[in-house]
Amino acid sequence: MPNTNLAFGIDLSRYNTSSDGKKQVDFDVIAAHDPEVTFIAMRAGISWGYQDPWFAFYFQEAARINRARLAYHVLYPGESPELQMDNFFRVLGDVDFSQVPLVLDLELDHGQSKARITYCTVQSVTLIQNRTGRTPILYSRAGWVNQFLRVADLPPVHWWLAQYRWPWPYPLYTPEHPSPPALPAGVTGWLIHQTAARGQSIGAPAMHFMDYNRWNGDKAAVLDYVNQPAQIPVTCPLDGLPCTGDKLERPHSKSALRASRTSAVPGGRSRRLNRTHEFVIASPRRGRGNLRKPMKYESV
């Protein structure tokens, strides 16, 4: 299906607003854009202690212009999934999860094993499913998933996958990659395709480029998905994870469970929150070639 037949969306983080806050995202420009921006994904936080400073503003403005909203959280595979999801839900506050799908951003390995990364992902997915009654979305790209995740060990998820054209030289904008995206091994479908990381910025003068996305369907498909009623998850008594039919057909893989014995913090001791924390920042646009960018942020 040509991209023009697929619903168009963008994703935002603090990088789309200038550091001094003088160049903010203009959602009226987004609302007037052609093609219509049907959905907007916004970064809520990172790991267990960081909140995107512009999330609340983006989230409120996206609702004002009546766009479908998604909230995403960048996962640190070596840290406690429980603390990270506590931070995610703290940032979200009283969000109506029947209208706001949640996304886990999987781009960082931090030198962790495939088993550990899978364990952290499984636990985070399960916590979201149990707290919201909805199946979360995983953002990544096929090559990363193939290298760092055991897809067969994951509970049910939906996939948001990045694949772009070769970038044109600055300041040219790179056209969208045609859908569908490349799928990781073991994945049979996709929900969202991030088609460009160097599209022309829409209503965000602080950044020259912007991420573009296409939904696997039209606007009606987006609205049907976003407004799905929450369901009470059925938990498997064998492992405490959401049940799927194929658990009755195949032995349960123990690789992710073995990783649970691996402490998220070296030495097995819990880490106390200091006044200042160092995080490795990655937004969807930062995920190719240079994943690690140390920055310091005050406690939130």
What is the rounded CA–CA span in Å between residue 30 and residue 55? 16
What's the predicted TM-score (pTM) here? 0.80
* pLDDT score at 76: 98
What is the rounded CA–CA span in Å between residue 45 and residue 80? 15
What's 15-76 look like in SS3?
Answer: HHCCCCCCCCCCHHHHHHCCCCEEEEEEEEEECCCEECCCHHHHHHHHHHCCCEEEEEEECC
* pLDDT score at 40: 98
* pLDDT score at 237: 59
* pLDDT score at 239: 60
Q: Residue 99: is it exposed, middle or buried by C-beta count within 10 angstroms (0-12/13-18/19+)?
A: middle
Query: In the chain, which residues have pLDDT < 70?
Result: 1, 232-300
- Strand 209-215 to 8-12 pairing: antiparallel
* pLDDT score at 246: 45
What is the rounded CA–CA span in Å between residue 199 and residue 174? 6
Neighbours of 258 (CB within 10 A): 12
Question: Domains of the chain (ranges plus CATH)?
Answer: 3-298 (3.20.20.80)
* pLDDT score at 230: 72
- Backbone angles phi and psi of 11, in degrees to 5: -130, 150
The interaxial angle of helices 81-92 and 114-132, nearest 10 deg, is: 40
